[in-house]
Amino acid sequence: MRPVRPSKRKKPMRVPKVRAAFRPTKPRPRLPASQTPLLSNADEITRTRAEAATAIAEAQKAHERLVEAIDILPQGIVFLDSEGRYILWNKKYAEIYNRSSDQFVSGARLQDTIRIGVARGDYPEAIGREEEWIAERLAKLFHPSGSHEQKLSDGRVILIEERLTDDGGLIGLRVDITARKQREESFRLLFDSNPVPMIVCALDDGKILGVNDAAAGHYGYSRAEFKQLSIRSLQAFDSEPPWADERESEEQAARTWKHVRADGTLIDLAIYSRHLAYEEKPAVLLALMDITERKRAEARLAFLAQHDALTGLPNRNLLRQQMDEMLVHMRRGSDKMAVLVLGLDNFKSINDTLGHGVGDKLLRGVAKRLRSVLREEDIVARLDSDEFAVVQGGLARPEDAAQLCRRLLQAIADPYQLDGHSVVIGATIGITMAPIDGDDAEKLLKNADMALSRAKTETRGTFSFFEAGMDARAQRRRRMEIELRDAIRREALQPYYQPLIDLSTGRITGFEALVRWPHPERGMIPPSEFIPIAEETGLISALGRLMLRQACHDAAAWPDDVRVAVNLSPLQFRVGNVLSQVMDVLKQSGLPPTRLELEITETLVLEKSGQVLATLHALRALGVRISMDDFGTGYSSLSYLRSFPFDKIKIDQSFIRDLAANREAQAIVRSIVSLGRGLGVIITAEGVETEAELRCLRGEGCHEGQGYLFSRPRPNAEIVALLNAQCGADAADRGARVA
Ligand code: C2E
Ligand code: CA
Ligand code: CA
């Protein structure tokens, strides 16, 4: 219902001061008295009346225009006189207060209207403190300062602005801000209860103006504490605020930030910012996405992509990168850089026999020891399962690199205590020097690799420098591998046999099968040249099977009391089932198991693997004899003899050399012989070359001998003759000795 408004028709108007602005458009100019023309009194009165009527009509008209004008305003407007009485109001004003005609009367006092409203409960904030509220309201009315908000009982919020006029009256403005208030309220709700931490900062100085619960919880500051901070004080490193211009640049949006929490911990954040006005001031709303976990996962992935998961060392990729950096530095100075590739000796057998768990621990142990020898700025990386690379810059001479190698080898050599095993591992190193041998990472690694391959075949357990020409050698090696593979496939390899002599009777007890490779161009190639290649490439298992088969077939045709000894590489135990291979071959050849001896080296026993020992026991249970070859070399330990009941121990030929002259060698042979007697094991001396050595061995009571003194290894065709000669010469002094 539209409230009654002061009617321009019914009642005489109290013309407000504002009316002055709507004066008749063309007032008549007043003339000074001296110029006043003389008129008759009646005329004067008539004219004056007419003028007054015109003025009133014009004023009326101006008033009507004013009312029309204020009626179309979107805000409510009210004019009060100096006593607070209504003079004029527009439609919107009446609409806002939704008043009925009884309170809206021209001349009624606003304070009375207010009182009536209070009594009716129009102002929810007044309920319970009516007088106080009215007093406050009236105080504002006559001492207006800025604006204030007023809540109405129907939920609306009205913004009130009042200003005194020159004549002590009042102009009041009313704006219905309910919708804006609701928006603000829902924004506040959205802000406060948002699970995303949010902060509002002042645009100019970054001072924190407000935070939501999530932000308070996330940072560990109370809301009050937050108000003391600025966004910069939260930032760990950067000094600029996390917002760019009004339009966020893309890179700004993609940036991440590190913030410090109340407890000092760092968090990674993606920050989304929006400019807005907060309490009338330009501000920025920041939504903070904690991406610490994601960052951590990313960092972990990046680390994994560049590191070896087992040892945590850089992998080949990172190594190359780091080498490139070092090479750049090196080019600027006069220093040299050493690139080492270090290979563990026989690591695969440890892995296979003691299990991968022990193998892994060993690798970690080795990595740790390598690191301990190096300086912070040196690089150590893992290249392959049993290969590491070490790069050291700032070297003056190659001798410095040699010194480093010695330290590394020494560090690795001490036994490792792993899961109750005492494990010993050796290493071999290939070295190349930059810039002498090359100045790019790829080439240097290749050089060091070649130097390592060479060292492995020639000086295992030490180090060797890359030399120009190694490349050609490496190619020869690759060619050899191809040819060896082909030779094995064609069964072109054949065993030569070297007799084992009973030193007390001089009779042949058996023959050791030693592989020979008759090469069409290079003649007979000795095993020392191709066994290491066969072991490295895995060809050894095929080679070993071939030798076993040929030796058993050949031996089956020999006299019943002559045995054959076959060498087994530790690697053969890893691939393929040695036990079933031996059983098959014995069956096919018809050779009784008691006539077969298998020679193994201590590296196999060193591994103390349950599976290896079980195989050895099973073979022995068949009647096959097991010999320990090359005793006294490597890491000989008497405990190996306890781990398996060997049938024979073969003293390495290095002890037989100079036996006649060297007292230490004599003492060693003597103790091994007495050890054998105590354990009931046959002792065989390898590499017997002279009569003096033979006499000495006989003197010590050594059971068996093998060596050039008796015979060089010979093809099977010659063996039969040799055995026949033995039969003929049975009575002879030195048995089957052949020069
Ligand atoms: P080994 O098992 O210690 O074999 C004995 C080596 O000593 C043989 O060398 C033999 O010719 C050599 N020899 C024998 N008597 C004397 C002597 O009086 N003086 C000197 N200086 N040397 C003597 P060969 O045939 O060159 O074999 C070298 C190594 O190659 C063998 O050492 C063995 O470890 C390996 N090997 C040979 N054949 C096979 C095989 O079929 N399978 C495996 N896995 N390894 C084999
Ligand atoms: Ca042997
Ligand atoms: Ca040997």
109: domain CATH number is: 3.30.450.20
- pLDDT higher than threshold 50 for residue 16: no
The closest alpha carbon to 118, from 107, 132, 101, belongs to 132
Q: Is the CB of 531 under 6 A from ligand 1?
A: yes
Instruction: Confirm whether 36 is domain-assigned.
Output: no
Report, as an integer, the average pLDDT of 498-521. 95
pLDDT digits (tens, 9 = 90+) for 255-312: 889 999 999 999 999 998 888 888 888 999 999 999 999 999 998 898 889 999 999 9
Confidence band for 730, pLDDT divided at 50, 70 and 90: low
Q: For the domain that residue 613 is a member of, what is the CATH number?
A: 3.20.20.450
Written as one letter, the residue type at 605 is V
Out of 539, 541, 567, 691, mutate this one to test ligand 1's pocket (max ligand atoms within 8 Å of CB): namely 567
pLDDT digits (tens, 9 = 90+) for 530-567: 998 898 888 999 999 999 999 999 999 999 999 999 99
Q: Is the CB of 539 under 6 A from ligand 1?
A: no
The token duo for 11 is: 């009642």
Residue with CA at minimum distance from ligand 1 atom 19: 687
Given 153, 176, 199, which residue is the final one in a domain? 176
Confidence band for 728, pLDDT divided at 50, 70 and 90: low
Distance 514 CA to ligand 1 centre (A): 6
- pLDDT higher than threshold 60 for residue 386: yes
Instruction: Confirm whether 5 is domain-assigned.
Output: no
Q: Is the CB of 602 under 6 A from ligand 1?
A: no
Distance 586 CA to ligand 2 centre (A): 20
Q: Is the CB of 654 under 6 A from ligand 1?
A: no
pLDDT number for residue 22: 35
pLDDT number for residue 156: 92
Determine which of 172-181, 182-191, 453-462 has the lowest per-residue pLDDT on average.
453-462
Ligand sitting nearest the alpha carbon of 488: 1
Map residue 114 onto helix, strand or coil.
helix
Tokens 């939501």 belong to: 212
- pLDDT higher than threshold 90 for residue 126: yes
Q: Which helix (H) or strand (E) holds 599?
A: strand 596-600
Q: Is the CB of 676 under 6 A from ligand 1?
A: no
Ligand sitting nearest the alpha carbon of 627: 2
Confidence band for 606, pLDDT divided at 50, 70 and 90: low
Do 160 and 124 lie in a common domain?
yes
Ligand sitting nearest the alpha carbon of 568: 1
Residue with CA at minimum distance from ligand 1 atom 23: 687
Distance 567 CA to ligand 2 centre (A): 5
Q: Which helix (H) or strand (E) holds 587?
A: helix 578-589
- DSSP annotation of 163 reads E
Cβ contact 620:626 at 8 Å: yes
Report, as an integer, the average pLDDT of 317-322. 94
Given 176, 204, 227, which residue is the final one in a domain? 176
pLDDT number for residue 14: 42
Distance CA 456, CA 476 (A): 16
- pLDDT higher than threshold 60 for residue 37: no
- pLDDT higher than threshold 70 for residue 28: no
Distance CA 714, CA 332 (A): 62
The token duo for 620 is: 């022995």
Report, as an integer, the average pLDDT of 165-192. 90
Cβ contact 79:104 at 8 Å: no
Distance 629 CA to ligand 1 centre (A): 10
Instruction: Confirm whether 23 is domain-assigned.
Output: no
Distance CA 100, CA 87 (A): 17
Question: What's the distance, CA 616 to chain centroid?
Answer: 45
Confidence band for 9, pLDDT divided at 50, 70 and 90: very low
Do 464 and 485 lie in a common domain?
no
Do 604 and 709 lie in a common domain?
yes
The token duo for 664 is: 């230490």
Residue 113 structural domain:
66-176
Instruction: Confirm whether 533 is domain-assigned.
Output: yes
Q: Is the CB of 711 under 6 A from ligand 1?
A: no
Do 590 and 481 lie in a common domain?
yes
Nearest atom, ligand 1, residue 544 CA: 42
Ligand sitting nearest the alpha carbon of 532: 1
Written as one letter, the residue type at 96 is I
Instruction: Confirm whether 441 is domain-assigned.
Output: yes
The closest alpha carbon to 526, from 480, 575, 490, 489, belongs to 480
Confidence band for 253, pLDDT divided at 50, 70 and 90: low
Do 154 and 245 lie in a common domain?
no
Other CB atoms within 10 Å distance of the CB of residue 561: 10
> Which phi and psi angles does 292 have, rounded to 5°?
-55, -45
pLDDT number for residue 736: 43
Residue with CA at minimum distance from ligand 1 atom 46: 567
Written as one letter, the residue type at 378 is D
Map residue 387 onto helix, strand or coil.
strand
Q: How many residues does the chain have?
A: 739
Do 457 and 358 lie in a common domain?
yes
Do 432 and 505 lie in a common domain?
no
Residue with CA at minimum distance from ligand 1 atom 27: 527
pLDDT number for residue 244: 66
Return the axis-axis angle of helices 292-306 and 316-332, rounded to nearest 10°: 80
Do 86 and 128 lie in a common domain?
yes
Q: Is the CB of 40 under 6 A from ligand 1?
A: no
Nearest atom, ligand 1, residue 688 CA: 18
Written as one letter, the residue type at 260 is V
Domains contained in the chain, number: 4
Out of 514, 528, 600, 686, mutate this one to test ligand 1's pocket (max ligand atoms within 8 Å of CB): namely 514
Do 570 and 714 lie in a common domain?
yes
Query: What average pLDDT does the structure give for the chain?
Result: 86
Nearest atom, ligand 1, residue 709 CA: 18
Confidence band for 406, pLDDT divided at 50, 70 and 90: very high
Distance 347 CA to ligand 3 centre (A): 21
Radius of gyration over alpha carbons of the chain, in Å? 54
Where are the alpha helices (H) located in 598-715, listed in sequence order? 602-606, 610-622, 638-643, 653-656, 663-679, 691-700
Do 481 and 460 lie in a common domain?
no
Instruction: Confirm whether 37 is domain-assigned.
Output: no
Distance 80 CA to ligand 1 centre (A): 126
- Residue 639 burial (10 A CB sphere; 0-12, 13-18, 19+): exposed
Confidence band for 737, pLDDT divided at 50, 70 and 90: very low
- pLDDT higher than threshold 80 for residue 361: yes
Dihedral, CA atoms, 391, 392, 397, 403, nearest 10 degrees?
Answer: -90
- 3-state DSSP percent of the chain in helix, strand and coil, to 5: 45, 25, 30
Where are the alpha helices (H) located in 490-577, listed in sequence order? 527-537, 540-556, 570-574
The closest alpha carbon to 261, from 295, 293, 241, 236, belongs to 236
Do 486 and 624 lie in a common domain?
yes
- pLDDT higher than threshold 80 for residue 423: yes
The token duo for 203 is: 């645009």
Q: Is the CB of 652 under 6 A from ligand 1?
A: no
Instruction: Confirm whether 44 is domain-assigned.
Output: no
The token duo for 496 is: 């030569």
Numbers of helices and strands, H then E, in the chain: 27, 27
Distance 568 CA to ligand 3 centre (A): 11
Instruction: Confirm whether 516 is domain-assigned.
Output: yes
3-state SS string for 456-491: HHHCCCCEEECCCCHHHHHHHHHHHHHHHHHHHHCC
pLDDT number for residue 248: 57
Confidence band for 95, pLDDT divided at 50, 70 and 90: confident
Whole-prediction pTM value?
Answer: 0.49
Q: What percent of the chain has pLDDT over 70?
A: 89
Strand order, beta sheet including 86-89: 86-89, 76-80, 170-176, 157-164, 147-151
Distance CA 451, CA 350 (A): 24
Report, as an integer, the average pLDDT of 321-337. 85
Q: Is the alpha carbon torsion for 168, 171, 177, 180 positive or negative?
A: negative
The token duo for 519 is: 């090469």
Do 79 and 139 lie in a common domain?
yes
Distance CA 581, CA 589 (A): 12
Ligand sitting nearest the alpha carbon of 499: 1
- pLDDT higher than threshold 90 for residue 662: no
Ligand sitting nearest the alpha carbon of 527: 1
Q: Is the CB of 498 under 6 A from ligand 1?
A: yes
Q: For the domain that residue 358 is a member of, what is the CATH number?
A: 3.30.70.270
Distance 348 CA to ligand 3 centre (A): 22
Q: Is the CB of 544 under 6 A from ligand 1?
A: yes
Cβ contact 554:596 at 8 Å: no
Given 122, 157, 176, which residue is the final one in a domain? 176
